[in-house]
Chain A
Amino acid sequence: MNMPLIQTKNLKKYFRTQKGDLHAVDNVNIDINKGKTLGVVGESGCGKSTLGRVILRLLEPTFGEVIYNGNDIIHLNQKQMNNIRQKMQIIFQDPYASLNPRMTVSEIIAEPIKVCKIIKDKEELNQRVFDLMKIVGLDYRFINTYPHEMDGGRRQRIGIARALALNPEFIVCDEPVSALDVSIQAQILNLMMDLQEDHGLTYMFITHDLSVVKHISDEIMVMYLGQCVEKAPSEELFANPLHPYTQALLDAIPIASLKERDKLRKIIKGEVTSPINPKPGCRFASRCFHVTAECKNDGLGLVEVSQGHYVSCILHK
Chain B
Amino acid sequence: MTQKAKAVAIQKEYAKKSQIKEIWRRMKKNKLAMIGLAIFCILVAMSLSADLIADYQESAIKQAGSIRLQPPSWEHYFGTDQYGRDLLARMVHGSRVSLSIGFFTTGISLLIGGILGAMTGYYGGIFDEIVMRLMDILLSIPSILLAIAIVSAMRPSLLNLLIAITISQIPGFTRIVRSTVLTVVGEDYIEAARACGSKDFRIITNDVLPNAIGPIIVQGTMSVAKMILLGAGLSFIGLGIQPPQPEWGYMLSEAREYMRDYPYLVVIPGIAIAISVFSINLIGDGLRDALDPRLKN
Q: Which of B8, B16, B191, B199 is within 8 Å of A58, CB to CB?
A: B191
CB-based A-B contact count at 8 angstroms = 91
| Docked-complex contact B294 and A162, CB < 8 angstroms | no
B292 partner residues in chain A, CB cutoff 8 A:
102
**Interface residue? A37 (CB, 8 A):** no
Residues of A within 8 A of B260 (CB): none
B7's contact among A98, A112, A127, A166, by CB below 8 Å, is which?
A127
In the assembled complex, which residues on chain A have CB atoms less than 8 Å from the CB atom of B207? 100
Q: Would A116 and B197 count as touching, CB distance under 8 A?
A: yes
Interface size on B, residues (CB 8 A): 30
Encoded as 1 (CB less than 8 Å from any A CB) or 0, chain B from 114 to 125 comes to 000000000000
CB distance from A16 to the nearest CB of B (A): 13
Nearest CB in chain B to that of A126: its residue: B11
Which A74-130 residues sit within 8 Å CB-CB of chain B? 81-82, 85-86, 89-90, 92-94, 97-102, 104, 106, 111-112, 115-116, 123, 126-127, 130
Answer whether A85 and B188 are a contact pair too, CB < 8 Å, given A126-B11, A140-B14, A144-B14.
Answer: no
Determine the chain B residues whose CB is within 8 A of the CB of A165 once the complex forms: 196
Flag if B188 contacts A116 (CB, 8 Å).
Answer: no
Determine if B14 and A143 form an interchain contact, defined as CB atoms under 8 angstroms apart.
Answer: yes
B129 on interface, CB distance cutoff 8 Å: no
Q: Of residues B8, B16, B188, which shows the largest number of chain A Cβ atoms within 10 Å of its Cβ?
A: B188
B198 CB–A CB distance under 8 Å: yes
Nearest CB on A from B204, distance (A): 13
Of chain A, the residue at the smallest CB distance from B194 is A58
Chain A residues near B187: list those with CB within 8 A. 97-98
Contact A101 B195 (CB under 8 A): no
CB atoms of B211 and A112 under 8 A apart: no
**Chain B stretch 248-282: residues in CB contact (< 8 A) with chain A:** none
| In the bound complex, CA of A92 to CA of B192 (Å) | 8
Given A101-B294, A102-B293, A144-B14, also A90-B195 (CB < 8 A): yes
Bound Cα distance A190, B4 (Å): 29
Q: Give every chain A residue within 8 A of B137 (Cβ-Cβ).
A: none
Cβ A144 vs Cβ B198 within 8 A: no
Give Cα A104 to B18, complex, Å.
12
Query: Which chain B residue lies CB-closest to A168?
Result: B196
Minimum Cβ distance to chain B for residue A179 (Å): 11
Judged by a CB distance under 8 angstroms, whether A146 is at the interface is yes
Q: Does B163 contact A (CB under 8 A)?
A: no
Q: B76 interface residue, CB < 8 Å from A?
A: no
Flag if B196 contacts A85 (CB, 8 Å).
yes
B188 touches A94 (CB 8 A): yes
A56 at the interface (CB under 8 A from B): yes
B25 within 8 A of A: no
Question: Contact check: which of B192, B199, B210 meets A98 at CB < 8 Å?
Answer: B192
Q: Contact at A126–B192, with CB atoms within 8 Å?
A: no
Q: What sequence of 0s and 1s flags, for each residue 213-236 of chain A, a beta carbon within 8 Å of any chain B beta carbon?
A: 000000000000000000000000
Residues of A within 8 A of B294 (CB): 101, 146, 148
Is A141's CB within 8 Å of the partner chain B?
Answer: yes
Q: Which of B188, B193, B195, B197 contacts A97 (CB 8 A)?
A: B188
Docked-complex contact A101 and B211, CB < 8 angstroms: yes
From 171 to 220 in chain B, residues with beta carbon under 8 angstroms from any chain A beta carbon are: 187-189, 191-199, 202, 206-207, 210-211
Does chain A have a CB within 8 A of B296?
A: yes
The answer to whether the Cβ of B10 comes within 8 Å of any Cβ in the partner chain is yes
A positions within 8 Å CB-CB of B: 53, 56, 58, 81-82, 85-86, 89-90, 92-94, 97-102, 104, 106, 111-112, 115-116, 123, 126-127, 130, 140-141, 143-144, 146, 148, 159, 162, 165-166
Q: A140-B14, A143-B14 are in contact. List 5 more A-B contacts (CB 8 A).
A: A90-B192, A116-B197, A123-B8, A146-B294, A146-B296
